[in-house]
Chains A and B, each alone.
Chain A
Amino acid sequence: MEQKYSTIIDSIKVKHPDAIISAEQLYDIPCIHVNKEYMKALVMDLKNNFGFNFLTDLTVIHYPDNKGNELCGSYLFHNWVDNVRLRMKVFISTEDNHLPSLVGAYKAANWLEREAFDNFGIKYDEHPDLRRILNMDEMDYHPLLKQYALEDESRRDKDDTFFGR
């Protein structure tokens, strides 16, 4: 198994030397950290030539202290034939929060990218229908960004005297 994973990482590295910034093995999943500019071509190749036919999940992580690379797009691919998974991460900044859309490669990316846009405000370029999917349309912020409070601001019953907050 270990052998299989390192072979995959190595062959991706050889084929896309510019795209891969770093690669590591975390538990039983190989993880690659990629460059945004080359990401689209890499994903198409992963799908067509490396057998990663299934996009298991797509999400975003917010690291507010990671200056210049605050937002991390995280992707999980699955090769059903060889039963191999691959995690891909791409870091972007809050100011330039655009990522290429994967809808052209995986249909499943459509709603997942809408969800990531809804919660984190990431603009997926060339997404066919980028609008909110979970939160109400009137919402004027992206609630999972860490600068916004998780708790509802409209509660009036939170008196420190009673709750010891």
Chain B
Amino acid sequence: MGEIKKDMVEMKEAPEGYEGRGFFATKLDSVIGMARSNSLWPLPFATSCCGIEFMATASTNYDLARFGMERMSFSPRQADLLMVMGTIAKKMGPILKQVYDQMAEPKWVISVGACASSGGIFDTYSVLQGIDNVIPVDVYVPGCPPRPEQILEGVMKIQELAKSESLRRRNSDEYKRMLEGYNIEVSK
């Protein structure tokens, strides 16, 4: 068994704080933010070609796992990040909303591709014109479909959000008002 080559492994920087011999002190927010951002469990909600791009993103060539988002969760109860990839028909809207409802806080949403973000080329009676009519979205990834690099970039933006988010944000009145704006029941 060889020694781990330290220069081959990218270590995450510790958050800002005070350190001395045998102790390190920092804010709880920063530590939890760091932990959350590097262990996001995504729920892939893939309905069309963007989902195929996502499969490429998750497999060997692009390897989402390198960034600490390896574990796909196929149950919304255990997921932190809802990845909506593909055209969402109006009939699918309530189902998407239910999946979002079932996720526990804190939760993030990424809208991948033109269809999920705006309806895309499907400007028609049967297609939801952007999932942000139904649920709040944190990051939009443009493209039709976007390349795996773009999806990676989008997820890394979510990591930035998770890292810098205040622990109190989800309890704030502003956040509750935002959810009520989407007619989503605020969890106690």
Contacts and interface: CB of A to CB of B under 8 A. Distances in A.
Given A155-B119, A157-B118, A150 B125 contact: yes
A136 interface: yes
A151 B123 contact: yes
B129 to A, nearest CB: 5
Nearest to B133: A154
Contacts of B127: 152
Interface residues of A, number: 12
A163 B180 CA distance: 34
B71 to A, nearest CB: 34
A148 B124 CA distance: 11
A150 B124 CA distance: 6
B7 to A, nearest CB: 49
A137 to B, nearest CB: 8
B171 interface: no
B119 A152 contact: yes
A143 interface: yes
Q: How large is the interface on B (under 10, 10 to 19, 20 to 34, 35 or more residues)?
A: 10 to 19
A2 to B, nearest CB: 42
A135 interface: yes
A21 interface: no
A143 B125 contact: yes
Nearest to B89: A136
A134 interface: yes
B123 A152 contact: yes
Contacts of A155: 119, 123, 129
A136 B91 contact: yes
A152 B87 CA distance: 14
B90 interface: yes
Contacts of A157: 118
Contacts of B126: 134-135, 143
Nearest to B94: A136
Contacts of A149: 125
B129 A154 contact: yes
B170 to A, nearest CB: 29
Contacts of B119: 152, 155
A148 B91 CA distance: 19
B117 to A, nearest CB: 11
19 contacts: A134-B126, A135-B90, A135-B91, A135-B125, A135-B126, A136-B90, A143-B125, A143-B126, A149-B125, A151-B124, A151-B125, A152-B119, A152-B123, A152-B124, A152-B125, A154-B129, A155-B123, A155-B129, A157-B118
Interface of A: 134-136, 143, 148-152, 154-155, 157
Interface of B: 90-91, 118-119, 123-127, 129, 133
